[in-house]
């Protein structure tokens, strides 16, 4: 079955008259629906908290929706911590999960009372030296090494990942943290990305639950919470089966009952730090076809580019594309494919392609296109190469209205940081001069 966008052609055409393309559009109703489903799936665990991964989409208007739904925030940098502080989030509603962490980031995490998720054993004395006493509530990140297999398939290669500690290091780190004043301890691990199986979280849970029971026995340090991190994926391609978060929650519950309860750890709280799953399907990039080109291949040129959405260029990632059409014309979203096209942007890079050899309906300059599943790791990864300016973000409210939640960048934004030198200030001043 083809993917259907959460917005139809007529509404998209109307919005494009107010918000020049390209722009991101997010669906409030879908975001709230997913947040509630996640919380319901783990309601059996009284201490459960979904710490939304801010890195996936740091727009404060979207984060506020998730805060209203009871989520905490997973931050990975000082800037993300500043955003949490600005939104009134402090203390243990913040999970600070970072790596190769600067001293200033640790200091701000300490100031805000965040749960610090230590990525390496050497970060503990570094934290004490640079940020002061360790927090009373801490977490440690685990890396089991080797390959992570599921159903006889290799899911990922933790042994090549830069994140986390070995089991032996954890056995030393937990007493070290206890001696330094920590009183509540957690474990965290991230073993695979964008999984489309309901087995991933339960399998990860079993690894962490067994480790928690073993470490509690070996070190005398009781593990009070376990962070299952992210990794629950979304179906980018038509026909892919979406994860069933309720089945996932039930699978984790069974593992909890089998491992933690007999170990005397039945009061362990669970956490997640989902980003892609929370927002990915509920955002789209709306762009307009501006050119067509026919050489050795057939190309559709759009007014968005990889600077707006880099995943296809960086990873070869698939994002489905729906052709809507334009005002006064037919709705093309249900049309049969008329040809095979590369959908490209205007960067001076040959990998600036949203789609390669993609079957699409006939596309004409002026048609609106919807690039699906762009709610997470999309606008957040934008950049300014070739002087491209990042697009606006718009929220489609539950009542059908819209709100501009981030304006499009302007040349003044692009040049703003040149104010460090007289020449730079001259360039900035010239922006205010009318064109000849």
Rg for the chain, CA atoms, rounded: 24
Count of Cβ atoms closer than 10 Å to residue 47 Cβ: 12
Quick check: 45 and 74 in contact, CB under 8 A?
A: no
The pLDDT of residue 146: 66
Tokens read off for 196: 């489309």
**Higher-scoring residue by pLDDT: 157, 262:** 262
* Mean pLDDT confidence for 282-305: 98
User: Cα separation of 198 and 207, whole Å?
Assistant: 16
- Where are the domain boundaries for CATH 3.20.20.10 in the chain? 28-280
Which contacts of 70-76 are long-range, i.e. CB under 8 A and separated by 24 or more positions?
A: 70/35, 70/39, 71/35, 71/278, 74/273, 74/275, 75/109, 75/114
| Secondary structure letter of residue 417 according to DSSP | G
* Mean pLDDT confidence for 246-250: 98
- 282-415 folds as Lyase, Ornithine Decarboxylase; Chain A, domain 1 (2.40.37)
The pLDDT of residue 429: 87
List b or e across 366-396, with b for residues whose CB sees 16 or more CB atoms inside 10 angstroms.
ebbbbbbbbbbbbbebbeeeeebebbbbbbb
User: Cα separation of 260 and 269, whole Å?
Assistant: 11
Quick check: 349 and 357 in contact, CB under 8 A?
A: no
H or E element, residue 415: helix 411-415
Quick check: 194 and 149 in contact, CB under 8 A?
A: no
pLDDT at 435 over 90: no
The correct answer on CATH 3.20.20.10 for the domain covering 28-280 is yes
Split at pLDDT 50, 70, 90, the class of 278 is very high
As a whole number, the mean pLDDT across the chain is 95
Q: Summarize pLDDT for 314-329 with one digit per residue, the tens.
A: 999 999 999 999 999 9
pLDDT at 151 over 70: no
User: Cα separation of 112 and 80, whole Å?
Assistant: 12
- DSSP string covering 173-205: HHHHHHHTT--EEEEE----SSB--TTHHHHHH
φ/ψ region of 260 (left if φ > 0, alpha if ψ in -120 to 50, else beta) reads: alpha
pLDDT at 433 over 90: no
pLDDT at 80 over 50: yes
Split at pLDDT 50, 70, 90, the class of 65 is very high
Going by C-alpha positions, the residue among 17, 77, 6 that lies closest to residue 380 is 77
Going by C-alpha positions, the residue among 228, 160, 146 that lies closest to residue 195 is 228
* Mean pLDDT confidence for 164-183: 97
- Where are the domain boundaries for CATH 2.40.37.10 in the chain? 282-415
The pLDDT of residue 313: 96
The pLDDT of residue 160: 76
% pLDDT > 70, the chain: 96
pLDDT at 306 over 50: yes
Give, in order, the Cα–Cα distances in Å from 289 to each of 286, 294, 304, 319, 368: 10, 15, 9, 17, 6
Phi–psi pair at 94, nearest 5 degrees: -115, 125
* Mean pLDDT confidence for 216-241: 96
Altogether, the residues listed in the chain come to a count of: 436
Split at pLDDT 50, 70, 90, the class of 154 is very low
Say what angle helices 28-41 and 245-255 make with each other, to 10 degrees.
Answer: 20
User: Cα separation of 23 and 285, whole Å?
Assistant: 6
The residues annotated with a catalytic role in the active site are: 348
User: Cα separation of 138 and 225, whole Å?
Assistant: 10
Q: Summarize pLDDT for 341-368 with one digit per residue, the tens.
A: 999 999 999 999 999 999 999 999 999 9
Going by C-alpha positions, the residue among 197, 181, 298 that lies closest to residue 243 is 197
| Strand partners of residue 369 | 287, 323
Quick check: 223 and 212 in contact, CB under 8 A?
A: yes
Q: Please tell me the pTM assigned to this model.
A: 0.95
Going by C-alpha positions, the residue among 223, 204, 227 that lies closest to residue 212 is 223
Going by C-alpha positions, the residue among 274, 275, 227, 281 that lies closest to residue 59 is 275
Tokens read off for 112: 């805000």
Q: Report strand pairing: 353-360 vs 339-344.
A: antiparallel
């Amino acid at each position: 079955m083809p993917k259907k966008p959460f917005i139809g052609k007529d509404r998209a055409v109307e919005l494009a008259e107010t918000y020049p393309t390209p722009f991101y559009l997010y669906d409030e109703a879908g975001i709230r629906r997913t947040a509630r489903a996640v919380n319901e799936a783990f309601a059996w665990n009284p201490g459960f908290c979904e710490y939304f991964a801010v890195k996936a989409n740091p727009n404060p208007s979207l984060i506020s929706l998730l805060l209203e739904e009871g989520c905490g925030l997973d931050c990975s940098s000082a800037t993300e911590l500043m955003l949490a502080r600005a939104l009134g989030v402090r203390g243990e509603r913040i999970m600070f999960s970072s790596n190769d962490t600067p001293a200033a980031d640790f200091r701000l995490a300490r100031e805000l009372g965040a749960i610090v998720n230590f990525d390496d054993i050497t970060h503990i004395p570094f934290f004490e030296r640079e940020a002061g006493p360790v927090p009373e509530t801490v977490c440690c990140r685990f890396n089991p090494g080797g390959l992570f297999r599921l159903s006889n398939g290799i899911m990922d290669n933790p042994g090549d990942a830069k994140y986390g500690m070995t089991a032996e290091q954890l056995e030393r780190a937990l007493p070290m943290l206890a001696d330094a004043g920590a009183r509540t301890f957690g474990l965290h691990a991230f073993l695979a990305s964008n999984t489309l199986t309901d087995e991933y979280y339960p399998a990860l849970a079993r690894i962490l639950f067994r480790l928690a029971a073993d470490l509690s026995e070996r070190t005398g340090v009781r593990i009070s919470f376990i962070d299952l991190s992210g990794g629950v994926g979304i179906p980018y391609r038509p026909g892919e089966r979406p994860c069933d978060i309720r089945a996932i929650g039930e699978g984790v519950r069974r593992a909890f009952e089998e491992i933690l309860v007999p170990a005397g750890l039945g009061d362990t709280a669970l956490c997640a730090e989902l980003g892609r799953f929370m927002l990915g399907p509920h955002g789209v990039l709306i762009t307009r076809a501006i050119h067509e080109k026919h050489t050795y291949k057939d190309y559709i040129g759009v007014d968005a580019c990889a600077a707006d959405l880099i995943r296809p260029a960086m990873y070869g990632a698939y994002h489905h594309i729906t052709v809507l059409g334009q005002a006064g014309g037919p709705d093309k979203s249900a049309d049969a494919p008329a040809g095979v096209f590369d959908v490209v942007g205007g960067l001076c890079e040959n990998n600036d392609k949203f789609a390669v050899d993609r079957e699409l309906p006939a596309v004409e300059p002026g048609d609106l296109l919807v690039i699906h599943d762009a709610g997470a790791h999309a606008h957040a990864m934008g950049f300014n190469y070739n002087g491209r300016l990042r697009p606006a973000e718009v929220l489609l409210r539950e009542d059908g209205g819209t709100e501009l939640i981030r304006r499009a960048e302007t040349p003044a934004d692009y040049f703003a940081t040149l104010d460090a030198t007289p020449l730079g200030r001259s360039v900035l001043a010239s922006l205010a001069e009318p064109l000849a």
